[in-house]
Structure 1
Amino acid sequence: MEPAAPLPGAGASGKISAGFVLDSSVNLKHVKRGYHCLVSNAMYFLVLPLLAAAAARFSALTADDLRLLWNQLQYNLISVVLFSAVVVFLLTIYFMKSPRPVYLLDYACYKPGELQKCSREGYLERAKLTGAFTAESLAFQERVIERSGLGQQTYLPESIARIPANPCMAEARKEAEAVMFGAIDELLGKTEVKPKDIGILIVNCSLFNPTPSLSSMIVNHYKLRGNILSYNLGGMGCSAGLISVDLAKHLLQAKPNSYCLIVSTENITLNWYLGNTRSMLLSNCLFRVGGAAILLSNRRSDRRLAKYQLLHTVRTHKGADDNSYRCVFQEEDPAGRVGVSLSKDLTSIAGEALKTNITTLGPLILPISEQLLFFASLLARSLLRLKTLRPYIPDFKLAFDHLCAHAGGRGVLDELQKNLRLTERHMEPSRMTLHRFGNTSSSSLWYELAYTEAKGRMMKGDRTWQIAFGAGFKCNSAVWRALRTVEPSQEKNPWIDEIESFPVRA
């Protein structure tokens, strides 16, 4: 009996070739693209024929028909005037009650000096010189750093970069002043806004909260006005920068014609862990010096000057769950040394927080075509009881043009990319920020946005999604729309002098 002929596109073994599978996936890709195009433009497809029919009907009217129509309007003049007055009144109420737009005028990221640069080997040498770590702890830190995604040019504070290290309160204040004032000075130079014009100040730093506060430090240094609304957020982790943005949005919508200055940073000096508990050594390997200053405005006249407009903020807090609450926890080790412990379940907990956050964010930003697919999948699983059908994961790539995901570590970025099916180009700003600057906590999102701008990728109308994770456990999002194309040649940011060297292979 002769063997059956192989299927078209199959090899001698009868298996379907990769070319056939590739053709099928390409065809499905075109089908899905056509579906998105059809659904996204459905309104045009429905309205245009009606407009065309109305135009044809109007063009068929004779002069007598038009004269008759005009006479009817004259006889009903009172009705027309009343109707117009009601429309104008309702529009006025709408614009008065609608939330004020929030604009991002500009921002600045702090870039430390050359003397603070520290290679991976340099960090391990400094750690060895402290005499605080056992051989096992040093070997553990070396393994973590090699797999962390950090490069050879991250920055340590002066108190730790020098030999011998000198972590103390005075040095911690010096680090905070250098980072905050450096970023604010650059921002004020960019925007030419006077310090006295700033009506709201929000500072977030999770682990360093001196008295007087960091916000008071800024008020004193820049001689800000006495009635300024000042807020100092502490203990809120790496997602506190977006909490600051959300707080600023609510304050700006309640206080007309105001500027809001946000300062996002973290302090390393007093939080360098000098013990041997492995879960607490992770932060030593990942966190580095950095900070950002952001200026927001609710003045409509600032739209022409602003870079971005804030579209949405979504905050998710999983602190009611004990495992989530304790996954990033500051405490003492058995020897009494204070450190921040990172749970081995951090990645999975971050995934759950992300799922909750994007469930709320999705309907706000996803095109209607993706929402219909998700709803159809949900109906099939619940009403038709097709439990074997995998839940449909919306394609978030259709909802934004750029992604700034908190550069907390390679593992979290890998999970985010896999779960949302993102491309390497979407993850590039986050991976390169981790490589060049390390984990700079809440300010990392702004280094990533600066990377996108330095690459010349930010075009007018582009939407950017910022997402960050933090202790508590929290997952927060912000979505911005670019109000103008950002020209790299006109920008001053921490990447601009070396952007041609990126991306690099980590």
Structure 2
Amino acid sequence: MAPTGEHHLLSTEIVNRGIEPSGPDAGSLTFSVRVRRRLPDFVRSVNLKYVRLGYHYLINYGLIYLAIVPVVFLLFGAEVRRFGREEVWRMVSDSTRGYDLVVVLALFVVLTFTLTFYFFSRSRSIYLVDFACFKPPDDLKVTKEEFIELARKSGKFEEASLQFQKKILESSGIGDETYVPKSIMSPDTISTMKEGRAEASMVIFGALDELFEKTRIRPKDIGILVVNCSVFNPTPSLSAMIINHYKMRGNILSFNLGGMGCSAGIIALDLARDMLQGNPNNMAVVVSTEMVAYNWYPGNDRSMLIPNCFFRMGCSAVLLSNRRRDYRRAKYGLEHIVRTHKGGADSSFRSVYQEEDAQKFKGLKISRDIMEIGGEAIKTNITTLSPLVLPFSEQFFFFSTLIRRYFTGCGTASASGKPSQMLPPEQEINQFTPSSSSSSGNKPYIPDYKLAFDHFCIHPASKTALNELQLNLGLTDENMEASRATLHRFGNTSSSSIWYELAYLEAKGRVKRGDRVWQLAFGSGLKCNSVVWKSIRTIERPAAGNPWLDCIDRYPSPQL
């Protein structure tokens, strides 16, 4: 049975448990009802506030100038065309015709001011010159079985905790070639500054060395550096560590973002974009990573063991530029960044929470409601992004259907701008009627996001999350291939995951000139962020410098 109400975040499964052997109900059939939490139905509970916010962004992206400049230009042209050379001379010499001359001059001033304001206020073009993803050495590669054995040898986990992690791994979508630090097998404490710095040096310098080699850029040419790592934040910072290692210039603008979760990579991009807007003729490097060993949880709290199963080693380094001469060699142009933060709600704020357990072991605690909480953030972000990227036809059908449902009273509470209320599980179950969904006469129009984007890079948090997002967004298996392949081959590398996905698409030779790429990431806070790129040229299959080159022919794998 499936839920059919507009806001149901639970699905149920009725299981026949057989015949009751004893008691007052002996001989009768017994059933149990399993309630499974899932993502919200995005298109059946749309909040108009975020639709309006999306159109507000659309206006800010320059449409108002595209409307004002032609109008002023046409008025000025129409006024000037009324006068020939002799007419203009008579106006200058005849004081009675001075009014027309004033009108023409006024229109000329307005046109000049409008054009000047437009050219000086418009955003600078931001180019993605190239990027690199760190591939750890093969001696750090582990299978799922080896992972459990390493955890067992460390002597830090009870057998029940080991079995729980094994069960999680079996359904996680993670393959047998992911990478973990050797230090996790140690019986000693590994959440030390020494271990953190050692891992950071390996992954960060590995990614940056690859980037500088691919782009032939000297470290001293970089004017802006943004580094994001959620859990490991030493003093001096990771950005200072990079500057020291590569002996970068003294006036570099450096930033270090911490505690911002798996979506911090796009936040770092947003910061780099803002800095490039204010610093012409410059280049920026964005480094995104997470330290697995420093984040390793050695206790037995099951809600804190989940990150151990999913997070793996990885790092990305991205080179951005606002220099016009870099256009010809750049791969992508930046179109949109949309950020959504749900931290104002206590449930969202504590959905991914770093704290100590009863034995004072530090770890990330994952809320049991993470699926629906994360789903609400994703839904909000997508609703805001849609007006910026969807074709007019899709926006028209979606918006007209939404308005019709709103005025006919068939819309949801969220469609009217009011928050939805979750019913208790027993009331949810009573609301389920198998035929009502298919018979609904006001089913909303589902926008086809495949018309807006050619490629999808969705954060591979887990196999379940990817399955739910595919269902809600109406995407094909090919659309989700890069995300599932990345989860299988590299695991969840936190904020750098979306770059391993883009590297997968390039290794397959699928990115053509003019293609639009959507990167979607979500993480603690709870935050959901989107970035849209447009390919400047067709990306040829790389011969080197891509982490997928040794295994790309094995994907898509039947195991995905």
| Same fold, TM-score > 0.5, yes or no | yes
Q: 1:488 aligns with which of 525, 535, 541?
A: 541
Q: Report matched runs for 1:261-340 at 5 Å.
A: 261-340=285-364
2:383 aligned residue? 359
1:14 aligned residue? none
Amino acid at match of 1:95: F
Please say if 1:401 is aligned against 2:454.
Answer: yes
Q: 1:128 aligns with which of 130, 152, 157?
A: 152
How far apart are 1:480 and its partner, in Å?
A: 0.3
Contact 2:312 2:491 in 1 (8 A): yes
2:428 aligned residue? none
Contact 1:183 1:291 in 2 (8 A): yes
> How many angstroms apart in 2 are the aligned matches of 1:76 and 1:502?
75
Give the match's secondary structure for 1:304. Answer: coil
How far apart are 1:157 and its partner, in Å?
A: 1.5
Please say if 1:422 is aligned against 2:462.
Answer: no
Please say if 1:465 is aligned against 2:518.
Answer: yes
**Unmatched runs of 5 consecutive residues or more in structure 2:** 1-80, 90-100, 412-439
**Unmatched runs of 5 consecutive residues or more in structure 1:** 1-69
Structure with higher helix content = 1
Structure-2 change in CA distance of 1:327 and 1:71 (3 Å): closer
What whole-Å deviation, never above 9, does each CA across 1:454-485 have from its counterpart, x for those lacking one?
00100000000000011000000000000000
Give the match's secondary structure for 2:241. Answer: helix
How far apart are 1:486 and its partner, in Å?
A: 0.3
Structure-2 change in CA distance of 1:499 and 1:164 (3 Å): farther
Please say if 1:252 is aligned against 2:305.
Answer: no
Q: Report matched runs for 1:11-90 at 5 Å.
A: 75=86, 90=114
1:451 aligned residue? 504
What whole-Å deviation, never above 9, does each CA across 1:380-402 have from its counterpart, x for those lacking one?
11223344523333111111000
Which stretch shifts more, 289-298 or 386-395? 386-395
1:241 aligned residue? 265
> How many angstroms apart in 2 are the aligned matches of 1:316 and 1:90?
33
Please say if 1:183 is aligned against 2:207.
Answer: yes
* TM value normalised by structure 1: 0.83
What whole-Å deviation, never above 9, does each CA across 1:37-81 have from its counterpart, x for those lacking one?
xxxxxxxxxxxxxxxxxxxxxxxxxxxxxxxxx9975556789x9
Amino acid at match of 1:426: N
> How many angstroms apart in 1 are the aligned matches of 2:265 and 2:214?
21
1:46 aligned residue? none
> How many angstroms apart in 2 are the aligned matches of 1:352 and 1:473?
10
Q: 2:527 aligns with which of 461, 465, 474?
A: 474
2:489 aligned residue? 436
Please say if 1:201 is aligned against 2:225.
Answer: yes
Contact 1:315 1:474 in 2 (8 A): yes
Q: Report matched runs for 1:116-155 at 5 Å.
A: 116-155=140-179
Amino acid at match of 2:385: L
> How many angstroms apart in 1 are the aligned matches of 2:112 and 2:365?
59
How far apart are 1:87 and its partner, in Å?
A: 5.3
Which stretch shifts more, 224-233 or 286-295? 224-233
How far apart are 1:374 and its partner, in Å?
A: 1.3
Give the match's secondary structure for 2:510. Answer: coil
Contact 2:154 2:187 in 1 (8 A): no
Give the match's secondary structure for 1:467. Answer: strand
1:349 aligned residue? 373
Higher relative contact order (CA 8 A, sep 6+): 2
* TM value normalised by structure 2: 0.75
Task: Figure out how many residues of one structure are paired with residues of the other and give that number.
Answer: 438
Contact 1:129 1:164 in 2 (8 A): no
Give the match's secondary structure for 1:496. Answer: coil
RMSD value over aligned CA atoms?
2.2
